[in-house]
A and B are shown apart, each in its own frame.
Chain A
């Protein structure tokens, strides 16, 4: 503690707020020692804008799509009602997506990068505190102006100038240093998974985690939170693969983790490094396909956007078979009968489903989760609106993790709260880490008396374990 305090107050140390991404363990530790980012934000108040560089970046990347979007916007404000922040903030006109993007990116472009520190702060407050990049506004704009995508671009500009929330500077740094969103090394990871499998083998004899199995059908890729905070999630995944008789593996190298806080931060080179690690692991192990855990932004970063960062012209990840989100794999084994659920164990109480933006609106897996619901729930109730039209949980785009915009995030959660309440269900299935967190937090903040769950624990409760896979005494 004393050492950390010394680091935080030593004025001779290089500044924490700067334009350089965190790429070393040392720099990462210096940032982590600055609890809550106090020193970081104080320094950020004084960080200059490199106007030349900003202009250069704009010249190179501000092309027809963004140009057209900003230019032809008819200022009709049809996007207002589509934004969760607008609704949650008592319909404040300043929360209209078009206003938010025109007064930030629009101004930077108009002024050709000639903006000051205070303006960059306004942009940062808007890009991370008033937008989760859920892209909902884009599907309601008559001109197809996708402000979520533009805010992603703005985040990139801000990040290149050092204007990024503290936790996301760290997050991107984690990816640079560990190729994972947390300080978990491949060794830590493999040890955790094997330890979990050992623990659970008592109940599921023969449970193994195949590490580095070449030519496996599936390479399973997780979110670093799982080994770090929820190792039972790894055990559940292993058991479900085991019971379904899946030919699966995990890599013992970088590439075991598929999330991308770098994407939330706007650090595109880091996104590239991150996704390439996953693809290299797939190629090294010659697996047929990727299956990612119940995480929304991991799917977006690795499967939807990732191929482009990695320079794959076909826009597809490697693997001879299509890469899957966990929900797709679940439906596959439920349909094939490889995983059988006991209909008598279906959830009896009313249950609703969260549609994660990153693979529902932005990857069309709408029917997949609904079909799964038909296997696991007797009284499934849709939120309204739902599917592609569903609202972001309020925690997307990194909002869950940013201390500076906690208040804004909590206000944003009201929309999801009201959607859940309107269903009458007290149980929310949430097959996405960020949504899961946001729903947990909304219960903490608003106390509406709900439970929430990933799919894995529900499946494990309902699955029929074949006799030959049961522990001996039980089978007998």
Chain B
């Protein structure tokens, strides 16, 4: 079992993840239509697209982030942990090194442990926000919680495995499966914002950069 989930299934999930995302990006771009979208897409829109992405990738970079400080802190911590821990975890790098002979710098296990706890705080914050904020509550569906659960599951199981709670081998298999589930889910669910965030932001950035002021005025200030 362990051999399968840590071997072929890893390949399969990464395959689905990369190909799926590629398909999402290509079909997004192919679905753009200069006349229907009313944007004369061209290289002239690239600065606007870049601006639109960069301002929103920086905490408090955009007015939207500035207006929502708590959510901004919560969501940035959530995303930084979500991406940072699996990529820089020592154990993951050892696995990578063993199979492909590549690795990069890593964080210590105790650091990862702390970051994971911070991640849990961010998750709890996001859940509480969904329950407490009436606007978010009205919008929230079971799907939103499912997505959050898919993202949190590898961390919960990873934390359990590291601390050897319950049967290590079983938890480890569950942990790997959760990670693979997330990878597979990304292209097919709302998690596709992993790449579609960039597509959508670039598109609106081009819209503002080319049409809505970019050409004559100064363009939008995010």
Q: How many residues of A contact B (CB 8 A)?
A: 57
Given A304-B212, A364-B218, A77:B139 Cβ within 8 A: yes
Contact of B36 among A63, A142, A322 (CB under 8 A): A63
Chain B residues whose C-beta falls within 8 Å of the C-beta of A146 in the assembled complex: 204, 207
Does B203 belong to the interface (CB within 8 Å)?
yes
Nearest residue, chain B, Cβ from A67: B31
A362 contacts across to B, CB distance below 8 A: 212-213
Majority secondary structure of chain B interface residues (helix, strand, loop or mixed) = helix
Query: Cβ of A315 and Cβ of B220 under 8 Å apart?
Result: no
From B130, B193, B200, B201, residue with most partner A Cβ within 10 Å:
B200
Contact B212 A361 (CB under 8 A): yes
Q: Is B105 an interface residue, CB under 8 A from the partner? A: no
| Given A72-B197, A139-B222, A364-B216, A93 and B138 contact (CB-CB distance below 8 Å) | yes
Q: Could you count the A-B residue pairs with CB atoms below 8 Å apart for me: how many are there?
A: 156
Which A residues lie within 8 Å of B8 (CB)?
none
Residues on A with C-beta less than 8 A from B197 are 72, 142-143
Pairwise interchain contact B203-A65, C-beta atoms closer than 8 A: yes
- In the complex the two chains form, is A313's CB within 8 Å of B34's CB? yes
CA distance A75 to B27 in the complex (A): 24
Flag whether B60 is at the interface (Cβ < 8 A): no
What chain A residues lie within 8 Å of B37 (beta carbons)? 65
| A367, B218: Cα distance in complex, Å | 9
Contact residues in A for B30 (Cβ distance below 8 Å): 64
Which residue in chain B gives the minimum CB-CB distance to A72? B193
Q: Kindly specify which of A95-103, A114-122, A184-192, A392-400 makes contact with the partner chain.
A: A95-103
Q: Is residue A145 contacting chain B, with contact meaning CB distance below 8 A?
A: yes
Q: Which of A133-189 contact B (CB under 8 A)?
A: 138-146
Q: Are B200 and A143 in contact (CB under 8 A)?
A: yes
Q: Judge whether A144 and B219 touch: CB under 8 Å.
A: no
14 A-B pairs within 8 Å (CB atoms) are namely: A75-B144, A78-B67, A78-B71, A82-B64, A94-B138, A96-B139, A99-B138, A138-B204, A308-B40, A313-B40, A315-B39, A315-B40, A315-B215, A328-B216
Q: Does B23 contact A (CB under 8 A)?
A: no
Top 9 nearest A-B pairs (CB, nearest first) are A364-B213, A364-B217, A64-B31, A315-B40, A144-B204, A77-B135, A75-B139, A140-B64, A308-B38
Q: A96-B139, A145-B200 are in contact. List 18 more A-B contacts (CB 8 A).
A: A61-B36, A64-B32, A65-B200, A68-B200, A74-B193, A78-B71, A96-B138, A99-B135, A144-B200, A308-B40, A313-B40, A315-B39, A328-B216, A362-B213, A364-B214, A364-B220, A365-B216, A367-B217
> Which of A82, A94, A102, A141 is packed against the most chain B CB atoms within 10 Å?
A141
Which residue of chain B lies nearest to A143 when distances are taken between CB atoms in the complex? B200
Interface size class of B (residues with CB under 8 A): 35 or more
Find out whether the CB atom of A366 lies under 8 angstroms from the CB atom of B200: no
> Could you tell me if B201 and A144 are in contact, using CB atoms closer than 8 angstroms?
yes
Asked if A365 meets B217 with Cβ closer than 8 Å, knowing A68-B199, A144-B203, the reply is yes
Shortest Cβ distance from A311 into B: residue: B35
B215 / chain A contacts, CB cutoff of 8 Å: 315-316
Interface centre among B30, B32, B35 (most CB of A within 10 A): B35
Residue ranges of B at the interface with A (Cβ–Cβ < 8 Å) = 27-40, 52, 56, 62-65, 67-68, 71, 75, 130, 133-141, 144, 190, 192-193, 196-197, 199-201, 203-205, 207-208, 210-222
Contact with B along A297-324 (1 / 0, CB 8 A): 0000000110111010111100000100
List chain A residues, Cβ under 8 A from B52. Answer: 144
Chain B residue, CB-CB nearest to A137? B64
Contacts A71-B190, A96-B138, A144-B205: A388 and B220 contacting too (C-beta < 8 A)? yes
Q: How far is the CA of A304 from the CA of B214 in the complex (A)?
A: 11
Q: How far is the CA of A305 from the CA of B34 in the complex (A)?
A: 11
Residues on A with beta carbons closer than 8 Å to the beta carbon of B220: 139, 361, 364, 388
Residue from B29, B196, B212, B215 whose CB has the most chain A CB atoms within 10 Å: B212
Contact across chains for A389 and B190 when beta carbons are under 8 A apart: no
Chain A residues with CB under 8 Å of B208's CB are: 364
Decide yes or no whether A363 CB sits under 8 A from chain B.
yes
The smallest beta-carbon distance between A357 and chain B, in angstroms, is 10
B36 touches A363 (CB 8 A): no
Q: Is the CB of B140 within 8 A of A75?
A: yes
Return chain B residues, CB-CB under 8 Å to A364. 208, 212-214, 216-220
With A68-B200, A77-B139 in contact, is A366–B217 under 8 Å at CB? Answer: yes
A236 sits at the interface (CB 8 A): no
Question: When chains A and B are docked, how far (Å) is the Cα of A281 from the Cα of B135?
Answer: 49
A304→B136 CA distance, assembly (Å): 34
In the complex, what distance in Å separates the CA atom of A365 from the CA atom of B63?
19
Most A C-beta atoms less than 10 A away, residue of B30, B39, B135, B220? B135
